[in-house]
Amino acid sequence: MAIPEFVLRKLVVPGSLKKQGSGFSFIINNTFAPATITRFELFNFNTLIPGESVAFSSSITPVQKASEITPENPILTPVGIEILVSVENQHLTENIVVKANTKEVGEIMFSLAQKKETKKFKKIKPYLLTRFSTPLEARIKIDLTKSSTAASPFLLGQFVEHLERCVYDGIWTDDGASLRQDTLELIKQLNPPMIRYPGGNFASGYHWEDGIGPKSARPSRHDAAWQAEEINQVGTDEFLAFCELIGTEPVFCVNDGSGTPEEAARWVAYCNDPATTEQGKRRAANGHAEPYNVKYWGIGNEVWGAWQIGTTSADEYTKRLLRFIKAMRAVDPGIKLVAVGNHPHSTEKNDPAALWNKEVLTKAGDQIDYLSWHIYQPDTEGWQDLPDPHELFKSVCAAPLDIEQFCSTIEKEIEQYSPNKGVLQALDEWNLWLPPLPGESSMHQVTYTMRDALYAASTLAVFYRKSKTLGMANLAQLVNVLPLIKTDSETAIATSIFFPFLLFNQMESKVVITSCQSPTFDSQAMGINITAHENVPWLDQLVTISEDQKRITLLLVNRMPENRMKVVFILPASPKSSLEISSSHPLDANTLDTPYKVKIQDGPKPKKQNDGWQVMLKPASVTLLEFTRD
């Protein structure tokens, strides 16, 4: 995971680089993600500064020389902790370069010199100036006689991790004593069908028994994944009570990184055994006599990654996966299991992710129900400093096409390698992840715009189109971390990417076969998870139909930021309702100060045109049309 230099330079506190005695000093404030530094070097005009001359100090660690930093004696850099770097007997020049190794991302390198770049780009116009723009025209051909089998109910799933303020001061109060009612109201509107918990990276260091029983007796633990304190005031019973309250299906991710098959089996027993067994009695004593009957369980998280606790090879993971499966299914043979997979970035046979999936599917495909993979777009390597807003708009809107391609690739891998051809895909972490705005406290504090609502809508449409083999999908994350919902101490708000989920809740589960003629655009690549595309339709669309064939919904995504779109189609049905996600500017964002810029409102009404219908879409909008027929 390469990190662009402009992002790394932001680790240095502005104005902190200055002369000091016979040398200089600067302050590092990590607002990216916790890092474990195993080597640290400074260069001045390409000459290595002796490690004995470079010292680190902070409020949580003693003074340490750079020469003392090794893989066995690393420096931990939690998010939000300032570290003073002091250098002796060196002149401060414009040519100071930092080079370091981290456990999580490998080598990083950046210059301390603050590069002042200015770029002039054409700005995207607000709706006030484009509402009377000449509309472009698209045509949809709808064949109601051809539709898919019903899509999985879990494609609109969510993800909750013990990370920053997702759990504490997000869904629950900051002490974990109770649910936040403002957040709860928004989650009830969302009506998520499934929520994955408790991680994520957190899961690989989490021991579930720390989070049950009397709250006063629960231990606080160091969370090694995110270098934070976990107070364990929210655990299994609190989370499952939350799931029961909102009517959602839980999926637990067990700790295979530092945990054991026996620990995982006890967790299954605690959740699913009758109250007559050892673990059932334990659960009953904690206030829930009836089994929870948790059906879905993931075994591990991203253990192919160097940053993961318990990182390992595909061969070793598969061996321990089979041990976990045996222990967990001995307790409850009916549970559904999710194995760790990855998404290939190429069609090469030696693609690391493809090799990983082949190993897992070949040796364990007959024992699992789902193969997991994650996608964050673009990825940190694709982050850009001062991007052209028009080009970024197009790249973001085209990005769901890459997810569609990854789904197709993994579908073929399952067909080719798995003894059980019925293994489904679990895209149990996905989101758009662009750089946070200046001044944010971590890399997870992303501000989502109307543009990003278009991305979310098109991505959910991909899930429905790929529902033959995509069995679950979980947006990462529900609250405050790449947030669907954002909170402060006083209120909770819906971000722009919240609203497409509300529209999809109104859609049917059977996808109708369609074709579309639309103006198109070309887009640029952004890192490895967003490739360049040609002839991308400005109009994205999805049509669904009810089992009784009487209710039809059309989702229309006008990805043009500055042009209206006239959409023409033939449909032997009558319009019933129209909803629209829009804002006054394609880059508007809902924030704690301005929470209602992006919203759902009544949408455009279809009008009769010859033997069909036409509807006029606003620039940068998502519209849901409902039709009925006898």
The pLDDT > 70 percentage for the chain reads 99
- CA dihedral defined by 341, 77, 439, 620, rounded to 10 degrees? 0
Per-residue pLDDT band for 244 (boundaries 50, 70, 90) equals very high
Pair 489, 538 in one domain? no
Whole-number Å distance between alpha carbons of 581 and 588: 12
What's the 3-state SS for 56-125? EEECCCCCEEHHHCCCCCCEEECCCCEEEEEECCCCCCCCEEEEEEECCCEEEEEECCCCCCCCCCCCCC
Amino acid, res. 524: Q
Quick one: pLDDT at residue 115? 63
* Among the listed residues 16, 5, 8, the one whose alpha carbon sits nearest the alpha carbon of residue 37: 8
314-330 per-position pLDDT tens digit: 999 999 999 999 999 99
Least confident of 116-130, 187-201, 519-533: 116-130
Phi/psi for 575 (5° steps) reads: -70, 140
- Cβ atoms 269, 238 nearer than 8 A: no
Quick one: pLDDT at residue 117? 62
Instruction: Spell out the long-range contacts of 581-584 with Cβ–Cβ below 8 A and sequence spacing 24 or more.
Output: 581/450, 581/453, 581/457, 581/496, 581/499, 581/500, 581/503, 581/621, 581/622, 581/623, 582/127, 582/450, 582/618, 582/620, 582/621, 582/622, 583/127, 583/450, 583/496, 583/620, 584/126, 584/127, 584/128
Pair 335, 198 in one domain? yes
Pair 467, 337 in one domain? yes
The answer to whether residue 201 scores a pLDDT higher than 70 is yes
Whole-number Å distance between alpha carbons of 3 and 383: 8
The pLDDT > 90 percentage for the chain reads 81
Q: What is the CATH number of the domain that holds 569?
A: 2.60.40.1180
Range of the domain at 173: 157-506
Pair 383, 422 in one domain? yes
Quick one: pLDDT at residue 45? 86
Q: How many CB atoms lie within 10 A of CB 456?
A: 28
Domain boundary among 506, 524, 554: 506
Tell me what the mean pLDDT of segment 353-364 comes to: 97
Please report, for residues 251, 388, 572, 577, 615, the alpha-carbon distance to residue 629 in angstroms, rounded to integers and kept in the order given: 38, 46, 7, 13, 19
Whole-number Å distance between alpha carbons of 85 and 64: 10
Whole-number Å distance between alpha carbons of 397 and 456: 9
264-320 per-position pLDDT tens digit: 999 999 999 999 999 999 999 999 999 999 999 999 999 999 999 999 999 999 999
- Across the chain, mean pLDDT equals 94
Q: Is residue 121 part of a domain?
A: no
Pair 212, 301 in one domain? yes
Q: Is residue 87 part of a domain?
A: yes
Per-residue pLDDT band for 369 (boundaries 50, 70, 90) equals very high
Whole-number Å distance between alpha carbons of 551 and 629: 7
Pair 471, 523 in one domain? no
Dig out the tokens for 455 from the structure.
């991305």
* Residue 62, preceding peptide bond in cis (omega within 30° of 0): no
Q: How many CB atoms lie within 10 A of CB 166?
A: 27
Reduced to 3 states (helix: H, G, I; strand: E, B; else coil), residue 41 is strand
Whole-number Å distance between alpha carbons of 167 and 329: 29
Q: Percentages helix, strand, coil for the chain, rounded to the nearest 5?
A: 25, 30, 45
Quick one: pLDDT at residue 132? 87
Please report, for residues 214, 271, 454, the alpha-carbon distance to residue 288 in angstroms, rounded to integers and kept in the order given: 13, 10, 42
Pair 481, 378 in one domain? yes
Q: Is residue 400 part of a domain?
A: yes
The answer to whether residue 362 scores a pLDDT higher than 70 is yes
Whole-number Å distance between alpha carbons of 383 and 2: 10
The answer to whether residue 462 scores a pLDDT higher than 80 is yes
Q: Is residue 119 part of a domain?
A: no
The answer to whether residue 349 scores a pLDDT higher than 90 is no
Whole-number Å distance between alpha carbons of 346 and 359: 17
- Please tell me which residue, 12 or 336, carries the higher pLDDT value: 336
Q: Is residue 120 part of a domain?
A: no
Q: Is residue 310 part of a domain?
A: yes
Tell me what the mean pLDDT of segment 222-245 comes to: 96
DSSP 562: S
Pair 177, 318 in one domain? yes
Angle made by CA atoms 279, 284, 288, in degrees to the nearest 5: 120
Pair 62, 195 in one domain? no
Whole-number Å distance between alpha carbons of 57 and 255: 34
Total residue count of the chain as it appears in this document: 630
Whole-number Å distance between alpha carbons of 595 and 613: 35
Amino acid, res. 211: G
Tell me what the mean pLDDT of segment 157-182 comes to: 97
Position of tokens 């200055």? 18
Question: What is the tally of structural domains in the chain?
Answer: 3
What's the 3-state SS for 266-324? HHHHHHHCCCCCHHHHHHHHCCCCCCCCCCEEEECCCCCCCCCCCCCCHHHHHHHHHHH
Q: What is the CATH number of the domain that holds 104?
A: 2.60.40
Per-residue pLDDT band for 447 (boundaries 50, 70, 90) equals very high
The answer to whether residue 1 scores a pLDDT higher than 70 is no
114-157 per-position pLDDT tens digit: 666 667 899 999 999 988 888 999 999 999 999 988 999 999 99
Reduced to 3 states (helix: H, G, I; strand: E, B; else coil), residue 23 is strand
The answer to whether residue 596 scores a pLDDT higher than 70 is yes
Whole-number Å distance between alpha carbons of 565 and 622: 11
Whole-number Å distance between alpha carbons of 279 and 272: 9
Domain boundary among 484, 506, 528: 506
Phi/psi for 452 (5° steps) reads: -75, -25
Q: What is the CATH number of the domain that holds 491?
A: 3.20.20.80
- Cβ atoms 497, 396 nearer than 8 A: no
Pair 397, 248 in one domain? yes
Q: Is residue 395 part of a domain?
A: yes
Quick one: pLDDT at residue 197? 98
Quick one: pLDDT at residue 380? 82
Whole-number Å distance between alpha carbons of 103 and 397: 33
Domain boundary among 447, 476, 506: 506
Per-residue pLDDT band for 15 (boundaries 50, 70, 90) equals confident
Pair 334, 404 in one domain? yes
- Cβ atoms 482, 439 nearer than 8 A: no
Q: Is residue 117 part of a domain?
A: no
Pair 396, 495 in one domain? yes
106 pairs with which residues across the strands? 102
Angle made by CA atoms 4, 426, 531, in degrees to the nearest 5: 35
385-400 per-position pLDDT tens digit: 889 999 999 999 999 9
